Structure 1
């Protein structure tokens, strides 16, 4: 996937919206890609695939000359406002809905035209090498013999569906046009699972890194970043679930009952994706607590070593401090002052004090060992 609208980017776009602008005004981002037009026309016995980039008039003629076929018109890129307006006019799209397409950061939703055509929005997701959720908008318009799709990038997650359509044995080519809209939604939902699997693997790596002897740098930042991505993923899946639930409530003349069974299966997939997201969110919260707890334990180990070292040197400091006091041995007239450290002038005074200090240290070490402070007990 290419250009992706993050939460921060969406906030920036919201700030740049012109206040008081007429509803339905179409705007194209400066960085939007040049539109490429792809057509898949098929029925049970026929399949034609062609790119019509820079040949929109020929595409329109083809559609009008072959009403007996089913058509998937895939528009990738929004960087031509005139073409977007022409598509809106030729396919009878409402300006407000076309505005939602070009704004490119809509929640998943479904809307019904007066003539029972549908407008649907889904969010395609991927877990990128930069270890973050990448999502793009997929907008669908259904018609009597076509599905018109819009996306802002040339790459997507729909290649598996294109392969199915190309197959001569595909049941998709025998089903009504609304089934293609379902299939597109289902592929988007199915692609949530590789995204969640990649997130799950990354969470396991973070958990192992917590207990590693040599931790990666900024480990807590990585944990908090993946937590943010999981929360964002949940915000993407919730509207998708609500959209499918709304489709299931549509009357049979809009969504036939024989197709609702497929959307019920898609609804189950959305629920499973949400359950995974909830589970991962709880795992990451536990991971954060585990990291902080382990960090506290490591700090305690450091403080334990420092405390032991300090405890050993406290009596030694007392001894050397005591013998560092400068009391005179005599009163200056030859009279010895017996209470003023006479051992300072003993021949073996210095070695005796060193021996005393050594004995004190050994007694402390034996005591610490028996208490288990020098081991991991």
Structure 2
């Protein structure tokens, strides 16, 4: 997918105008100008080109009724083109509305004599922003073509294009429904590298939390958790979509092709399991962060407690001898029997310092014997 300057994505649902007639669609203001790509092939021939105009695209398709075509249109920035597509390919306005408002969940709909309308979501993990970028891929199947529509110029379907170019596999020998399956399969296959990158990121966060827990790390963990929720919200409908396609009549999806859709269904189940595992690991990271912060706080409190415990007897001695009760009456010279005799001893000050030092060393030895220093 094409790289754009990073900014916080806006909620497209909130931007949608309210109260419009159902089936009303218009080109988004920030859409790319449309580009037209056509791949036409038979078992023995292959032709790929980028066309400049939509009429030229239609002419190439109609001139080769014997071939199978992949009509690839990227960019929605032309309202007239959208209306021509709806008319020329027999697409319902509600379907075109779902295409243009590209925040739809993955789904499949059957319409007009065993044709299918399929929505998938292509994913990419951004290593810079540590977030998921997703682009909607809309597919329409026909008797000898698959029409794909997407808002971005770049996608994840280049491996499939290369397979068609070199003639590997059976894609040139199969009906167009197999090509639609191949597109969905490539999209799902790209979910696994995304999951692997997210797993590595979780491990990096775990090391950061263990070494230096901080509020910024907690924010990263919570952001990752929201990305996993988003990924799960995309993957579950993919599983439901495959389930629905497996239940379709043989006129729509032949039984010989359903084995491939079962494989795609298995992939979606594996993805859901991976997402659940990543969610549990992320939740464990939150618990680990809290436990690490709590342990650090306990260590700090232990240090402060030791310091306070050391100075408590010292403060008592200093406070006791700081009362400054005089030994004799300054007016009569009378000596008081219960006064502090140590105040006027010649070596009382160094003796008191030695006593205080002994108390400090004794307490440190006592704490060491108790094992209080082993966790530092």
Deviation, 1:204, is: 1.2
C-alpha distance in structure 2 between counterparts of 1:165 and 1:337, whole Å:
112
- TM-score, reference length from structure 1: 0.95
Moved over 6 A (4+): none
Deviation, 1:16, is: 2.9
The superposition leaves residues 182-239 of structure 1 with CA deviations (integer Å, 9 ceiling, x where unpaired) of 0000001111100001111111111222222x45771111111111111111110000
C-alpha distance in structure 1 between counterparts of 2:121 and 2:282, whole Å:
23
C-alpha distance in structure 2 between counterparts of 1:169 and 1:224, whole Å:
44
CA-based RMSD of the aligned residues comes to 1.8
Q: What is the DSSP-based 3-state SS (H/G/I as helix, E as strand, rest coil) of the residue aligned with 2:70?
A: strand
Partner of 1:137: 136
Q: What is the DSSP-based 3-state SS (H/G/I as helix, E as strand, rest coil) of the residue aligned with 2:171?
A: helix
C-alpha distance in structure 1 between counterparts of 2:30 and 2:326, whole Å:
88
C-alpha distance in structure 1 between counterparts of 2:2 and 2:166, whole Å:
28
The superposition leaves residues 254-283 of structure 1 with CA deviations (integer Å, 9 ceiling, x where unpaired) of 111111111001000000000111111111
The superposition leaves residues 106-160 of structure 1 with CA deviations (integer Å, 9 ceiling, x where unpaired) of 0100001121110000011111111111111000000011100011111111111
Q: What is the DSSP-based 3-state SS (H/G/I as helix, E as strand, rest coil) of the residue aligned with 1:171?
A: coil
Q: More deviation in 94-103 or 166-175?
A: 166-175
Partner of 1:107: 105
**2:356 aligned with 1:357, yes or no?**
yes
Aligned length: 372
- Is 2:99–2:149's contact at 8 Å kept on the other side of the alignment? yes
Name structure 2 gaps, 5 residues minimum: none
Partner of 1:49: 48
Deviation, 1:77, is: 1.0
The superposition leaves residues 279-328 of structure 1 with CA deviations (integer Å, 9 ceiling, x where unpaired) of 11111111211221122111111111111111101111111111111322
Partner of 2:190: 191
- Is 1:193–1:273's contact at 8 Å kept on the other side of the alignment? yes
Partner of 1:374: 373
Partner of 2:229: 231
- Is 1:35–1:77's contact at 8 Å kept on the other side of the alignment? yes
- Is 2:13–2:103's contact at 8 Å kept on the other side of the alignment? no
User: Out of 299, 302, 305, which is 1:304 matched to?
Assistant: 302
Deviation, 1:29, is: 2.0
- 1:151-166 → structure 2 map (5 Å cutoff): 151-166=150-165
Partner of 2:342: 343
- Is 1:3–1:153's contact at 8 Å kept on the other side of the alignment? no
Partner of 1:262: 260
1:112 and 1:3, CA in 2 relative to 1: closer, same or farther beyond 3 A? farther
- 1:1-377 → structure 2 map (5 Å cutoff): 1-2=1-2, 9=9, 12-53=11-52, 55-129=53-127, 130-212=129-211, 214=212, 218-332=216-330, 333-376=332-375
- TM-score, reference length from structure 2: 0.95
- Is 2:110–2:116's contact at 8 Å kept on the other side of the alignment? yes
C-alpha distance in structure 2 between counterparts of 1:329 and 1:2, whole Å:
91
- Is 2:213–2:289's contact at 8 Å kept on the other side of the alignment? no
